[in-house]
Amino acid sequence: MSYESELKLAINAASKAGEFLLHQSDLTVLSNEGRDVKLKADRESETLIMNMLAPTKIPVLAEESGEHGAQDGMRWIVDPLDGTANYFRGMIDLCCVSIALWDGDTPLLGVVNRFATDELFHGKIGDGAWMNDKPIRTSTLTDVSQAVVATGFPAGHRYTDEALLKYVKMLQRFKKVRLLGTAAIMTAYVGAGLIDVYSEEGIMLWDIAAGAAITVAAGGNYRAEPMGNYKYKFRCFANAEIAKVCEDL
């Protein structure tokens, strides 16, 4: 299968959801527990996307509403608003809509719509990746001391001295560190050659599914170690050489 119609549908759904979120003024908080916040806008964006994907009859894994259908084959993976905390605080340029199509544990295509900056990343494995209509490729940089790494702390991350020290030691080897508060954008930026490595432990599948597909389509690769309940230790690399240098991450 070429999945061309599925990619077009995902682009359309991500565009419509992004347009909704861009002009949304209702910031009603549904929950604000621990280090996580959920907005009414998350659910409304997800409903819009789910309605648009429904005609495909493909099962869906969605952040807000969970599993819809069997999850061991083809499935859409949807994050209706990644970077909710940024969106809530008015940093609307640091959030996005993320839609991916996977077959089991294998990414097929992904769309990340950074709607406030008109950056729509999309990629299809074996076909390439683009930002809007411009082809993108991962970087060829292999010297870690000159590399840019992106990372973050998921809502469930432990903020103990030991856990934070482990992160600091990992980050010290890189030239620059970026924490944008949105995993989907950071993984898409690896695909676009703007970031060389993305590393996060305890990240949810819907946060990185689309970006992983885009990065692979653009020439990169990733490692995802399951931690249970759709949570992963995830590493995304611009190329095989830098992945090998960072194999201990």
d(CA 139, CA 133): 19
Say yes or no: do domains 4-135 and 144-245 share a fold.
no
CB 215 within 8 A of CB 235: no
d(CA 117, CA 177): 22
Tokens of 129: 């990746």
**Topology of the domain covering 144-245:** D-Maltodextrin-Binding Protein; domain 2 (3.40.190)
Alpha-helical (H) ranges within the chain are 4-22, 40-53, 84-88, 161-171, 183-191, 205-217, 240-245
Mean predicted confidence (pLDDT) in 129-137 = 97
Q: Which amino acid is at 234?
A: F
pLDDT classification of 155: cutoffs 50, 70, 90:
low
Mean predicted confidence (pLDDT) in 189-214 = 97
pLDDT classification of 174: cutoffs 50, 70, 90:
very high
Phi and psi torsions of 126, nearest 5°: 85, -5
Kind plus residue range of the DSSP H or E element containing 18: helix 4-22
20-62 pLDDT, tens digit each: 999 998 889 887 876 678 899 999 999 999 999 999 999 999 9
d(CA 88, CA 95): 10
pLDDT classification of 156: cutoffs 50, 70, 90:
low
Per-chain mean pLDDT for the chain: 94
d(CA 27, CA 40): 7
d(CA 146, CA 47): 42
Query: Which pTM does this prediction carry?
Result: 0.94
The percent of the chain in helix, strand and coil, each rounded to the nearest 5, is 35, 35, 30
Q: Select from 3.30.540.10, 3.30.470.20, 3.90.550.10, 3.50.50.60 the CATH code of 4-135.
A: 3.30.540.10
In the predicted model, is pLDDT for residue 157 greater than 60?
no
* pLDDT given at position 154: 64
Long-range interactions of 72-76: CB distance < 8 A, separation 24+: 72/104, 73/103, 73/104, 74/101, 74/102, 74/103, 75/101, 75/102, 75/103, 76/10, 76/100, 76/101
Q: How many residues does the chain have?
A: 249
pLDDT classification of 159: cutoffs 50, 70, 90:
low
Domain boundaries of the chain, sorted by first residue: 4-135, 144-245
